[in-house]
Amino acid sequence: MPNPTLPPNPPHPDPGSGSDPEAFVRDWTTWRRARERSLAAPHGFLAITSMRWLTPEPTRFDDAPGAWSTGDDGAVLVTLADGETLTVDGEPVHGRHRFDALADGGSVFPVSGDLVIEVARRGGQALLRPRDPANPLRTGFTGTPVFAPDPAWARPGRFLPFDAPRPVTVGAVVEGLEHVLEAPGQVEFELDGAAHRLTAFNGGRPGALSVLFTDATSGVSTYAANRSLSIEPPDAEGRVTVDFNRAVNLPCAYTDLATCPLPPRENRLAPAVEAGERLPLERGGRP
């Protein structure tokens, strides 16, 4: 799924095994610093200056070189004027260039000077998102408010695999857009004395899981549409740790120039999860 590149999560301590609270906070702090560096990366999602849905009609934009269009076969085409250059896979490109049709959710990133031009496909449609390190949203970024880390929010759980991975269609923050995500199973854990099951999607590396969710803080102290939680691969017995201290915002929490997926209905938690990232300052959050 479209998501900012996050540092891999280190193994989570088991809150029921007598883990050292100071070590827990140190691990979380190290991860948190890496997360903030990722958010402020020169060509991360805070650097996006516009989101352009492409059509068969060649169109020029004021924040990217070339005239951009889509082909009959789903490819993206760009025609560069004299003096305009893109670098694609390390090679300079002039004149007309074709980006073969991408899989849905995929992106490629040609370069033009200090700019990175994301060419992507979301919900079956091609789009362009230029990324400029000088974008004010990025240069003005000072960090994301978070709840204080608390080992009590690192809940022991287990992974319940489906017989076979299932495609799950979810909505998006862009009206009319849908994402189809592959779900290998569910994650079960206890919270406030009740058992909960959340549908889990494939994570950023083999075996890892990713959960989209909302809870009673959503739209109050956290972003209304969604938060995301990475979960380390289950052990041989299916055990996992659901560490809400590492719940993060998706790009749509910071910018309207995003197509983030929404959680499936079953991933709406009734309790208030006062852990992880809070509402960004860019959306009116408080330090």
CA atoms within 13 A on the CB side of 98: 7
pLDDT of 17 > 50? The answer is: no
Both 152 and 124 in one domain: the answer is no
Tens of pLDDT along 250-283? 999 999 999 999 999 999 999 999 999 999 999 9
pLDDT band at 19 (very low <50, low <70, confident <90, very high): low
Residue 10 to residue 7: CA distance in whole angstroms: 9
pTM for this predicted structure: 0.90
Q: Do 127 and 158 share a domain, yes or no?
A: no
User: What residue numbers bound the domain in which 234 lies?
Assistant: 143-283
The answer to whether residue 225 is domain-embedded is: yes
CATH of residue 64 = 2.60.200
Is residue 17 one of the residues assigned to a domain?
A: no
Residues 189, 268, single domain; the answer is yes
Is residue 20 one of the residues assigned to a domain? no
Q: How far apart are the first and last CA of the chain?
A: 29
Last-in-domain residue among 131, 162, 179: 131
Rounded Cα–Cα distance for residues 216 and 196 (Å): 14
Note whether residue 29 is domain-resident. Answer: no
Same-domain status, 156 and 272: yes
